Amino acid sequence: MKIKEILIIGANPDYKDSLLSILPLDGERILNVDIYQMEIDTDLKIMLYDLDFSQEIQPEFLEHIKPHLSGILIVGDRTLSAKTIPGLDFVNDLIKILPGIPVIIGVCMDGEDQSIIAVDFENRGLNLSQKSLVVFWKFDDISAMKNIWRALLVDMEQSVAN
């Protein structure tokens, strides 16, 4: 059985919780981290680590997940920047250690023009890994939320194949 492990960071916890709510997850809390699992089929299990950097996360937990990590999902709104993403130093360290790791930035929009948001990102200097993708979605659009999960899982599989 393959186990894929995804780190989730919510710059906006409401949007993160909304994205998680569409998945059939079993979960538990260990060392201030909500850990969810989802069995895709008999050959694939997905583990999601919901890191809340507003609470202390044990360094040994962070060290434990580094070698197993398959992808990162960062969830926020158009105000995402290097200053607003919690744990960004940790994420940047992961990208250096695992340069091929897919990073999906899920940006929730409330009617803003995507081109303006892209310029905002560029002006605020948000640096992404080589296998990164910025995905725009609306809070009440289930299909857009599913596309974020599909993008992360497809990118994960492609990075494993490469």
Identify which of 88, 97, 12 has the alpha carbon closest to the alpha carbon of residue 63: 97
**pLDDT, tens only, 36-95:** 998 888 888 899 999 888 888 888 888 888 888 888 999 988 777 777 788 888 888 888
Q: How far is CA 51 from CA 8, 30, 67, 81, in A?
A: 6, 11, 16, 18
Residue 6, pLDDT score = 93
The strands making up 26-30's β-sheet, listed across from edge to edge, are 26-30, 33-41, 44-51, 2-10, 69-77, 103-109, 132-138
DSSP 96: H
Q: Please, what are the domains in the chain?
A: 2-157 (3.40.50.300)
Distance from C-alpha of 89 to C-alpha of 38, rounded to nearest angstrom = 28
**What residue type is 144 in one-letter code?**
A
DSSP 131: T
**pLDDT, tens only, 10-39:** 888 889 999 999 988 888 998 888 999 988
pTM: 0.85
65: three-class secondary structure by DSSP: helix
